Amino acid sequence: MNAETSRDLKITGNGSTSGGRFRHVTITGEGDIHGALHCEQFKCTGRASIQGSVESTICKVNGEVRVEGSWRGKELHFLGQFYAKSGIQGDRLKFRGDIQTGGSCEAETISWKGGGRIKGMLNAEEIRISLYGPCQAKEIGGSRIDVRKNTLSALKDWLHPSGKPELQADLIEGDELYLEYTQAKIVRGSRVTIGNGCSINTVEYKESLKVHAQAVVEVRRKV
């Protein structure tokens, strides 16, 4: 490890500093970082605002983080409210709460419990979404996609109180799909299950299609 990245950054209480390269970054309280941030490990308990992009191998957040750029890493764990202006990219992503990004979200596996909005594409080999509030993504793509409504209220303080637990997307495409409480224009897959609470304009499937009695599918097409 070179000298440039061997130093740690710690903010306790209220504090601010410039960006840079660090080994470990720890924020307990409220911290403002003015510039891009590169580190091996990022931990935040409280609130953080970063005026630039972030590259962090491991990230653990419990609270509120706002990034005026993109966030890249391998292991990303967010609990609370998270905003990344230009997108999120990692290997394994776990979201618990309200996630907002103006770009896309890409990973190998994504577990999302809560609500929020992804203006670009949500893309991973495996995607599991547990709906606690409204979720939006322009397009969703993956090998296995599982979307279910969760009736628990453990995350209600981080979501809009009147938010309806529902996923909205223009396109959902994958191999094996299970969807509940989803509104989409096009759903495309090999083995597709359309569960309760869904309203889909068109479903295109290769092998099998199951539709719940309380779901609406306007067009069903085997391809």
62 assigned to some structural domain: no
Local confidence band at 1 (pLDDT 50, 70, 90 cut-offs): very low
Domains contained in the chain, number: 1
92 assigned to some structural domain: no
For residue 151, the enclosing domain spans 109-223
Residue 139: CA count within 13 A, CB half-sphere:
12
198 assigned to some structural domain: yes
Give the model's pLDDT for residue 4.
54
173 assigned to some structural domain: yes
The mean pLDDT of the chain is: 93
Beta-strand (E) ranges in 68-125?
A: 71-84, 88-89, 92-101, 105-106, 109-123
Pick from 223, 179, 123, 39: nearest CA to 11: 39
pLDDT tens across 171-191, in order? 999 999 999 999 999 999 999
The whole-model pTM stands at 0.91
> Does residue 145 carry a pLDDT above 60?
yes
pLDDT tens across 76-110, in order? 999 999 999 999 999 999 999 999 999 999 999 99
Give the model's pLDDT for residue 163.
72
108 DSSP assignment: S
Local confidence band at 150 (pLDDT 50, 70, 90 cut-offs): confident
> Does residue 156 carry a pLDDT above 90?
no
115 assigned to some structural domain: yes
200 assigned to some structural domain: yes
> Does residue 6 carry a pLDDT above 90?
no
Give the model's pLDDT for residue 162.
55
Local confidence band at 3 (pLDDT 50, 70, 90 cut-offs): very low
Give the model's pLDDT for residue 161.
47
Give the model's pLDDT for residue 28.
98
Q: What is the CA radius of gyration of the chain?
A: 19
Local confidence band at 5 (pLDDT 50, 70, 90 cut-offs): low
Q: Which residue has the higher pLDDT, 161 or 207?
A: 207
pLDDT tens across 61-73, in order? 999 999 999 999 9
217 assigned to some structural domain: yes
**CA distance linking residue 67 with residue 50, whole number of Å:** 5
81 assigned to some structural domain: no
> Does residue 30 carry a pLDDT above 70?
yes
